Structure 1
């Protein structure tokens, strides 16, 4: 293959990965966040039912991600990636016609499972191909699919809100997801990876290495705070905006777009900060900014607080993800799939707790706004432990 041919394939495959993550993680998963206040106003769901649907989705994501680690070898990866991607978009399409809560619980669980599978396997497949073709630096750009998809999902939901009701509000999301999936699948079937497995010596070193050691344990503990801290704003912030800001405010319809745009802009920023000053340094400031964002919701007037939370949490959470993964791999260079499984389990598992705690608090007379204190405490926890993570 010529260099021009490799470059062309790299661009196509990268866009296929971006599109796949947009479909499963941003559109299929997080479009539920801007949709929830509309579902509540349509009397299709209550806030506690919304919390249940979010929790079951995050549980499915944990299961799917752990399943994906088992099939992350080159001979399995493409097959199960395509199964997960097609299954995810079919589930999103079915949601357009289902309003029964029990069926929605099943669909949101399956959405989470397929999301977890694709979210692990798509970047892994691309990383293998990029390494084979001496372009590993491109692999991280696939996460633009999360930020770009969040922005697209929010704009789709709000711009079409007057045309649809109840479960039919999923229709614009499903149409875009189907188009992106068609492109991704046509590209992924062309990807060929034939990297050999680890040598016996490397395999023994991986199996005998301790995953949690003196250097990595504080990092893993901090990641619990990252998952629990960001999930309440990323699940309930538009609903909180509807509850606390006057109905004629322009910010109600734009709070998710602000969150998504902040996320999109922050990716190259945190990537540069981590490269220039170190990932530990960058992580400290992702926790500080996100803690300030949640504190703003709790301490300053509702309108300004919600917008500050959208900017600071939206701008910080992907930085926490990227820098934690890189720092963990620096501490544990031979762990491979075990490391991925641990990070996924910690992050996804901590996400399960947030909506569940919010539901319990509301059922016992609290407010959605007050439940955000859990997120503030989580970010303080994360900041404490990342500060105790070794510099080298």
Structure 2
């Protein structure tokens, strides 16, 4: 598959995931609310509480997402979140118990955090590592498409389906969205090739055998290169920029060669050391 086709595939996966978790699982509740009040006896106070519980679920999911740094775990939780989004949608049509609805809205909030935060982070990571622009505007179009699409769907389905049948219809729509949403095998293949996080590997990853350099970003998003980097790295040679957010590491071939010598001096041989810089990066 060409790089351009893979880019389109990854961005499409992000759009479908946001339609699922933000549109179907989370905000389809809004256009269905009047119908549920008329046909299912949902009161005004209960409706407000369900909305608040949904936001609480999103908040909890956001907190969990903020403390996870492992890309493989993020990918797994992202995929689980997509399935949970469908289950939470089906739960709404299976009962008229407010408690069941509350549980559904809470886990729908969790799933929306998985798709919105974890999924967005994975896509941004992929775009950066494959030298594409950070086209998250295209990705975030899924939010608007999901919310607007669900409102239009409810307006159309009101002519034939009651509130319960519409929740089940959204469940079917969610299943159709589920197939393309996580379809980015290239990401998963590369994630599983990452070195195991043992002590020796962490030394290689975090220090590039003693010479990786952490650097900050200034207020304008420019990389601030520490002065000590000039002591061992020639930036006219190949440089790898590794990281996301406000922390980056600069890995350089000049530092790699010097570090191999340091490793042999301290460890006695090169066993356990990757043969090339590429083996440490996605």
Within the alignment, does 1:188 sit opposite 2:184 as a pair? yes
Within the alignment, does 1:57 sit opposite 2:54 as a pair? yes
2:246 corresponds to which residue? 334
The verdict on how the C-alpha distance between 1:72 and 1:32 changes in structure 2, with shifts beyond 3 A counting, is farther
* d(CA) in 1 for partners of 2:213, 2:10: 32
2:106 corresponds to which residue? 109
Within the alignment, does 1:147 sit opposite 2:154 as a pair? no
Q: Is the 8 A contact 2:28 2:151 kept in 1?
A: yes
Shift, 1:201, TM fit: 5.0
Shift, 1:165, TM fit: 2.1
Question: Would you say how many aligned residue pairs link Structure 1 and Structure 2?
Answer: 209
Relative to total residues, which structure has the larger helix share, 1 or 2? 1
Alignment of 1:159-198 (within 5 A): 159-185=156-182, 187-192=183-188, 193=190
2:233 corresponds to which residue? none
Q: Is the 8 A contact 2:124 2:134 kept in 1?
A: no
The verdict on how the C-alpha distance between 1:39 and 1:31 changes in structure 2, with shifts beyond 3 A counting, is same
Shift, 1:70, TM fit: 2.6
* d(CA) in 2 for partners of 1:165, 1:44: 13
Alignment of 1:313-392 (within 5 A): 334=246
Per-residue Cα deviation, 1:131-176 (whole angstroms, up to 9, x for no partner): 1111133233110100011111011111001322233321222111
Shift, 1:31, TM fit: 0.8
Shift, 1:125, TM fit: 0.7
Within the alignment, does 1:34 sit opposite 2:46 as a pair? no
Within the alignment, does 1:120 sit opposite 2:117 as a pair? yes
In structure 2, stretches of 5+ residues that fail to align are 196-204, 220-244, 249-282
More deviation in 92-101 or 11-20?
92-101
* d(CA) in 1 for partners of 2:44, 2:206: 48
Shift, 1:43, TM fit: 4.0
1:7 corresponds to which residue? 4
Secondary structure, counterpart of 2:161 in structure 1: coil
* d(CA) in 2 for partners of 1:45, 1:183: 34
TM-score calculated relative to the size of structure 2 = 0.67
Secondary structure, counterpart of 1:134 in structure 2: coil
Q: Is the 8 A contact 1:65 1:119 kept in 2?
A: no
The verdict on how the C-alpha distance between 1:90 and 1:120 changes in structure 2, with shifts beyond 3 A counting, is same
RMSD of aligned residue pairs (Cα, Å): 2.8
Larger-gyration structure (1/2):
2
Within the alignment, does 1:45 sit opposite 2:42 as a pair? yes
* d(CA) in 1 for partners of 2:122, 2:206: 16
Per-residue Cα deviation, 1:292-315 (whole angstroms, up to 9, x for no partner): xxxxxxxxxxxxxxxxxxxxxxxx
* d(CA) in 1 for partners of 2:26, 2:3: 33
Per-residue Cα deviation, 1:214-262 (whole angstroms, up to 9, x for no partner): x9xxxxxxxxxxxxxxxxxxxxxxxxxxxxxxxxxxxxxxxxxxxxxxx
